[in-house]
Structure 1
Amino acid sequence: MAEPAPRGITSADLEAVPAPLVAEILDGVLETHPRPRHAMAAGELAGELIPPFAPPFARGRGGPGGWVFMIEPELHFGPQVVVPDLAGWRRGRLPAEPATPFVETPPDWACAILSPSKARLDRGPKRRIYAEAGVAHLWLLDPADGELEAFALTEGRWLLVGTVRRGEMVALAPYDAVPFPLDALFPLDAPAAPTET
């Protein structure tokens, strides 16, 4: 549901939204939506990325390390407030945990896990807001369709650099150093038959 945001909206306005809802400010509009029912896909994706890419865990998994991850961080980009499902920063860009309950440093990567209640926002205004903030990589994961789209910010615009479907391996920037099967993100679903190349 969307309501016009009052002038000078503050953190208190966001905090006033009831706990089960996620609140964002997109283009001056207070957007609220139920917490999507894709926590398993988000957790599985974090489980694939954190061991090889986030120190100190990377030492045992053969990954390059160098990243910091957050699940559902509240990101403030000027008047815009967005909450991606997952976000990652190269460690040099976020060397310490912010003292605030939100992050103002744009992530290097953001992932939206699409659901009927928020796909319109993730594919529309939020994707544009991430580009304006300079987020370099954006993944859109659609559990219903079993598809992952990867975009790279190129000259201020999103360029689709790859699409992975059920039964295929994910080897997409910026995490292409350690591929993993897309089916691993849906542990309760029957695995897709491998695609032939």
Structure 2
Amino acid sequence: MGRGKRPATYEDIEALPTGWVGEIIDDELWAFPRPAAWHGRASTRLGMLLGCFDVGQAGPGGWWLLDEPELHFGRQVLVPDLAGWRRERAPGLLERDAPFFDLAPDWICEVLSPSTSALDRGRKLDVYHQEGVGHAWLVDPRAHTLEVYRRGRKGWRLAARHGGEEVVRAEPFDAEPLELGLLWVTKSTPAPGP
């Protein structure tokens, strides 16, 4: 943060234009417009594919999975694309009235965009590690890749890198296969006429 600049506050997030997402990392406001359709598609599909870990019907269950939860860690405010908490560690997580969470998730996923990739890979991952998040996924819908990270003592350790149309088992959700090809927007024939 520059000299003489005041630390960002939650009021700065509230003052953003409608449709913008704001985060505060190391007292600095980061604001981005809503992502492109291919980004939203990957995030939505991933949440659907992992749904058996949340709902548990005909699947392993045991998790609370949320889209874009607002996480408060002291003065840090982060919004991952997806996050999950193991139910045994956070049994009453969804019973609160607060619109944010101050308990670090067990897993986060950031879907990378050109405008957010450096922040997602850098400062945000550092904060997630500092707060004790156990696993982090970085999904790149343009490169068609999934990077799976496991928390190490001094930083993140790359557990696996997958891509393309692979069917994978990615920790901590390795009890069920994940078909990566379902996350990507495929090129299609343009619609006819105006």
TM-score, with structure 2 as normaliser: 0.88
User: Shift of the alpha carbon at 1:136?
Assistant: 0.3
C-alpha distance in structure 1 between counterparts of 2:35 and 2:6, whole Å: 26
Stretches of 4+ moved more than 4 A in 1?
none
Note closer, same or farther for the CA distance 1:41–1:172 as it changes in structure 2 (3 Å cut). same
Structure 1: distance between partners of 2:114 and 2:67: 20
User: Identity, % of aligned pairs?
Assistant: 43
CA-CA distance at 1:34 after TM superposition: 1.3
Q: 1:123-152 CA distances to partner (integer Å, 9 max, x unpaired)?
A: 110010000010000000001100000000
CA distance in 2, matches of 1:185, 1:72: 17
Alignment of 1:149-160 (within 5 A): 149-160=147-158
Residues 5, 91 of structure 1: alpha-carbon distance in 2 compared, 3 angstrom cutoff: farther
User: By how many angstroms is 1:189 displaced?
Assistant: 4.6
| 1:170/1:182 contact within 8 Å kept | yes
The within-5 A match list for 1:152-171 is 152-171=150-169
| 1:11 CA displacement | 2.8
Task: Select the residue among 130, 133, 143 that pairs with 1:132.
Answer: 130
DSSP-derived class of the 2:57 partner: helix
Contact 2:139 2:145 (C-alpha < 8 Å) held by counterparts:
yes
Aligned to 2:191: none
Deviation at 1:187, TM superposition (A): 4.9
Q: Does 1:102 align with 2:103?
A: no
TM-score by length of 1: 0.86
What displacement does 1:59 show?
2.0
- AA matched with 2:107: W
- Stretches of structure 2 lacking an aligned partner (at least 5 in a row): 189-194
1:93 CA displacement: 2.5
Change in 2 beyond 3 A, CA 1:44/1:82:
same
AA matched with 2:48 = G
Q: Does the 8 Å CA contact 2:12/2:29 hold for their aligned counterparts?
A: no
Aligned to 1:6: 6
Shift of residue 5, structure 1, vs aligned partner: 6.8
Unaligned runs of 5+ in 1: 191-197
Deviations 1:159-185 (A, max 9, x none): 000001102112111000001211011
Distance (Å, rounded) in 1 between the aligned partners of 2:168 and 2:131:
26
Answer yes or no: is the 8 Å Cα contact 2:20–2:34 preserved in 1: yes
Determine the structure 2 residue equivalent to 1:195. none
Alpha carbon RMSD of aligned pairs, Å?
Answer: 1.8
- 1:86 equivalent in structure 2: 82
